Amino acid sequence: MSAIFAIDYNCVLLLPKIIAMNKQLKNDLTNLDALLEIVKAQGLDFLKNIGERPTSTGIAYSNHLELNETGLGGQNTLQLFNERFEKFIVASTGSRYLGFVTGGSTPASIMGDWLTTVYD
As a whole number, mean pLDDT of residues 48-66 equals 81
Residues sharing a CB contact under 8 Å with residue 44, sequence separation 6 or more, in sequence order: none
pTM, 2 dp? 0.66
Give helix then strand counts, H and E, for the chain. Answer: 4, 3
Confidence class for position 1, pLDDT limits 50, 70, 90 = very low
**Whole-Å CA distances, 34 to 8, 41, 75, 82:** 19, 11, 10, 17
Q: What is the pLDDT of residues 73-109, one digit of tens each?
A: 899 999 988 888 888 887 776 666 666 656 556 677 7
Instruction: Name the residue with higher pLDDT: 67 or 35.
Output: 35
**Distance between CA atoms of 17 and 90, rounded to whole angstroms?**
46
Question: In this predicted structure, what is the pLDDT of residue 38?
Answer: 94
